[in-house]
Structure formats: structure tokens, C-alpha cells
Chains A and B, each alone.
Chain A
Amino acid sequence: AQTVTQSQPEMSVQEAETVTLSCTYDTSESDYYLFWYKQPPSRQMILVIRQEAYKQQNATENRFSVNFQKAAKSFSLKISDSQLGDAAMYFCAYRSDGQNFVFGPGTRLSVLP
């Protein structure tokens, strides 16, 4: 069964600085999708970024970028120029065709003013 691991239960970053959240996963599939979701205090799940495993190029969405290492099964999220509004729980998630999401345990990010 697929598993997703986030080894950092909590992280903090100074406003305007850069932080990287780690995620590793285990799968025997070759085609799959990886996601980072943000859950602020409102509890609304918000898609931050998505990566297709067949794409070598790392996905980027404004201040958010990923470092996708397929061989290492690693999918880290980098947040640049951190803002107070970035404070939230961040969940790494995996999905392959025909299968449901598998979420990691989450990383709570605090942004210090």
C-alpha cells in the first residue's frame, strides 16, 4: 500500500524568508500524482501545487515550488518570501489512477513576524 510520510510535525519561518517542507512516499507505481494542500485555521483544504510523476520539470506556482525526486520518492515544498498568511497545516498527498488520495500526517507551519 502507498504511504506518505512528512517527518516534520512543526516548522517555523521568519516572514519574508524561505522554508522547505519535506515529504517522502512509497509506491510501486510509475504513473501517479503528488499534491501539496494547505489547511488554514478555517479548515478549508486548498490546493497549493500539483506534480505529475511523468513530468521531469518541477512544478512552480508563484512563491511555491517543489523539488520532485522520483528515484528517491521525495517531494518537498519550498515557500519563498513567506507571508503571515502562509501559516497553516500543510499536507502532502499521493494519488494514482483508479486509487484514492493518500495524505501524509501534515506539517504545521508557523510564520514569525
Chain B
Amino acid sequence: GAVVSQHPSWVICKSGTSVKIECRSLDFQATTMFWYRQFPKQSLMLMATSNEGSKATYEQGVEKDKFLINHASLTLSTLTVTSAHPEDSSFYICSAWTPLNYGYTFGSGTRLTVV
């Protein structure tokens, strides 16, 4: 079945540094990927939609200069949290549209802790 690999699974960084999270579709081409943020005991909130070869579409209230999304190939989308602050600490999940089963496949998520 379709697999979306997300890396790293967890990361700790210092305030002011940048962190890159990768999301790869392993056995299919993902023209569209989605990035979500999930706070503890809360639901998933869509941050942005990335389309291969074009600029990402950000949801209202999401700072595009802080959360840089790149979707340079059909199998890789990256989310870079720039100048991270403790309030950016959260669980980030990517997902991709999977044409094979007409559904969405999620990555395993990345727990980001900014200290």
C-alpha cells in the first residue's frame, strides 16, 4: 500500500534555530501534500497545502515566512520552521493524496520541541 515517510520523528532544537522536516512518498507520486499541526489532546489543524513545482497555499493565520514549504519533486515535500520559538513546539504531520486507493496517507509525524 501507499507509504508516506516522515523524518525526523522527533527533534529538539534551540530557540532561534531552524528545523527541516521531510515528507516522502515512497511508492507513489504525490503531486499534493498537506502539512498539519497538532497540539496535545487536540485535533489536526491544516497549515498549508503544497503542490509540486508551485508555491504552497497557506491557511489563514499561518506565517508563510516562518513555516517554509518546498515541494520540489513528486516524492518530497519539506517544512522548515525558521527561527523557532518555544511556542512552535508541537506535533507536525504530513499527508499526501494517494490516487491508488483514492484516499489520503499520513506520515508518522514529527514531534518538535524548541528549548
Contacts and interface: CB of A to CB of B under 8 A. Distances in A.
Given A100-B34, A100-B49, A45 B43 contact: no
Contacts of A44: 106, 108-109
Q: Which size bracket describes the interface of B in this complex?
A: 10 to 19
B60 to A, nearest CB: 11
Contacts of A106: 42-43
Nearest to A47: B103
Interface residues of A, number: 16
Nearest to B108: A44
A91 interface: yes
Nearest to A95: B104
B28 interface: no
Contacts of A42: 108
Given A50-B103, A100-B34, A100-B49, A43 B43 contact: no
Tell me if A's interface is mostly helix, strand, loop or mixed.
Answer: loop
B25 interface: no
Nearest to B32: A100
Contacts of A46: 106
Interface string B19-62: 00000000000000010001000111010010000000000000
B108 A103 contact: no
A45 B42 contact: no
B95 interface: yes
Interface string A82-113: 00000000010000000011011110000000
A103 B103 contact: no
Given A42-B108, A101-B104, 18 more contacts: A35-B103, A37-B106, A43-B38, A43-B109, A43-B111, A45-B44, A45-B109, A50-B103, A91-B44, A100-B34, A100-B46, A100-B49, A101-B34, A101-B46, A103-B44, A104-B43, A105-B43, A106-B43
